[in-house]
Amino acid sequence: QVQLVQSGAEVKKPGASVKVACKASGNSFLGQNMHWVRQAPGQGLEWMGWVSPNNDDRRYVQKFLGRVTMTRDTSTSTGDMELIRLRSDDTAIYYCVRRISTKWDDYFDYWGQGTLVTVSS
């Protein structure tokens, strides 16, 4: 059974940084990229980007360039997403996600439980 367990809720002031951690059970992420998706309160889902298992490749959505860093540690089956220069509109639930990608199929099959990040002065 695949399980992704994320770190707890955070409250941050505007301009601060936050790091959200995600720990995968077993070898569920071995050899696979880790993706991050966020969801503002009462809103839809927004894909943020991914990082490769060995941190040698990553792709971020353009709107987050310069503010987000995603890293991996395969020795501990963990991944982190750090967002800097926080703004009030960064208030959201952040999910780490496993993506399955084959020649024919491409989907997000396992999601962490989510981490609420609240940005407020």
Q: Which amino acid is at 94?
A: Y
- Minimum distance, C-beta of residue 59 to other proteins, in the bound complex (Å): 6
Binding site for other proteins (CB under 8 A): 44-47, 59, 61-62, 95, 101, 104-109, 111-114
- Minimum distance, C-beta of residue 10 to other proteins, in the bound complex (Å): 17
Q: Which amino acid is at 10?
A: E
Q: Which is nearer to other proteins, 14 or 107 (CB)?
A: 107
- Minimum distance, C-beta of residue 4 to other proteins, in the bound complex (Å): 9
Q: Which is nearer to other proteins, 15 or 25 (CB)?
A: 25
Beta strands in the chain (DSSP E): 4-6, 10-12, 18-24, 34-39, 45-51, 58-60, 68-73, 78-83, 92-101, 106-111, 115-119
- Minimum distance, C-beta of residue 19 to other proteins, in the bound complex (Å): 20
Tokens 């995600």 -> residue: 22
- Distance, in Å, from the CA atom of 33 to the CA atom of 22, rounded to the nearest integer, reads 13
Q: Which is nearer to other proteins, 72 or 95 (CB)?
A: 95
Whole-angstrom Cα Rg for the chain: 14
Q: Which is nearer to other proteins, 29 or 95 (CB)?
A: 95
